[in-house]
Amino acid sequence: MKLRIIVTLKPGVLDPQGKAIHKALDGLGFAGVEDVRQGKLIELDVADDTDDATIDAMCRKLLANTVIENYRVERA
């Protein structure tokens, strides 16, 4: 079973990486970019019988820092 875990910074958390990308896009002449946020994408291939609670535990224990990050699980 293929999963996509999408980890994004919570709103309000500073995102220096996103800011750097924004500045670089401006510097390259791309106008009209209003905001950039960088997140992480983790593609997991897990056994088909893996239940939602286990996937959730993986995210909470390792993949996302829930103090500053949100995560979302998508089935591919």
* Contacts to a second copy by CB under 8 A: 6-8, 18, 21, 24-25, 28, 30-47, 49-50, 54, 57-58, 61-63
Instruction: Report the nearest approach of a second copy to the CB of residue 66 (Å).
Output: 16
The tokens for 40 are 């992480």
Smallest separation (angstroms) from a second copy to the CB of 68: 16
**Are 63 and 3 contacting, i.e. CB atoms less than 8 angstroms apart?**
no
CA-closest candidate to residue 69, choices 25, 33, 54, 60:
60
Q: How far is the CB of 51 from a second copy (least distance, A)?
A: 10
